[in-house]
Each structure stands twice: as C-alpha cells, then as structure tokens.
Amino acid sequence: MKLSKAHLKKDLDEQLKGIYSFFAEESIQISELADLVIEKAKLESFEEKQTHIISKDTDWSFLQYENENLDLFGSKKTQIKKNLKLRKNYNKLIFEKLRKIQLPLEYKKKKSNFIIKNNFKKFTIVKKIKFIKKKILGYERNSS
C-alpha cells in the first residue's frame, strides 16, 4: 500500500506491521520514514530489527543468509520477561546467571543451521519443529 509520510504516521498509530518498504528520491527521506517505524517499534518493546538497503547493485544472497525470514522486527523481550515472571518456578537469580553466560545473538545466528521465530503460539512451534525434523532426517537419509 502506498502511503505519504502523514498517512504512515496514522497507520503506525493504529498498528505496527511486520515489514515496511520505503522508496524515495533521497536517502534522507527513507531514513526519516524508517525512524518513524523504529520509534513506534521501541514503544511497543521490540528490541531487534533488520534493515536492508537495496540498490541496483545489491547482492541478493543476503536473503538466503536470513533463512528466508523477512520480518523487520524480532521478539518482544520485555513480553518474554513478563511471561517468565508469571511462571510458578521462576527464579530471578538463576535467570540472571543464565543471561550472563549467553553468547551474543549474532554469534548464535552464524553457528545455527535452523532458527525458529517464537511467537508464543504452540501451533507455530510444532509446525517449525516438524519442518526441522524433516530437514534433518531427510539429510541423514540422503547422506547414508
């Protein structure tokens, strides 16, 4: 859907979408529009974003690296923390210790063969796990 800057602001007030594409004559215009979306996402507690600048010379292989995942924003970490605190066996000390020993996200992404985006819906997780099992088992059968 084509929107002016004013219409984008109104659209962002209603709901943040999963992906945005901006086209403009000047890169500053694109930056201003992207800043509006990023500001809204921060207000909604999103902490991860992916930005891709596309030109006529773009090497499209980055899409393969992104594992066919074109979501602009990742998980809502504050929502995850709220959900964890509601669990009856939640222990803040253990949580903090585990958080401190975590490897950086970029390192884990580079080392991972599969990434599951968690939207906290059982159906999505089950579907993704089945997909990964098929990939792994299919690979093992083909290699033996």
Convert the pLDDT of each residue in 71-105 to its tens digit. 434 556 667 777 888 888 888 888 888 878 888 87
Burial label for 92, CB within 10 Å (0-12, 13-18, 19+), is: exposed
Q: What is the pLDDT of residues 19-50, one digit of tens each?
A: 788 887 787 888 888 889 888 888 887 777 77
Which pTM value belongs to this model? 0.43
**Tokens in use for 116?**
């599951």
The enclosing H or E element of 29 equals helix 27-43
Q: Per-domain residue ranges for the chain? A: 5-112, 117-144
Selected residue with higher pLDDT from 118 and 98: 98
d(CA 47, CA 76): 6
Token look-up 């962002």 returns 12
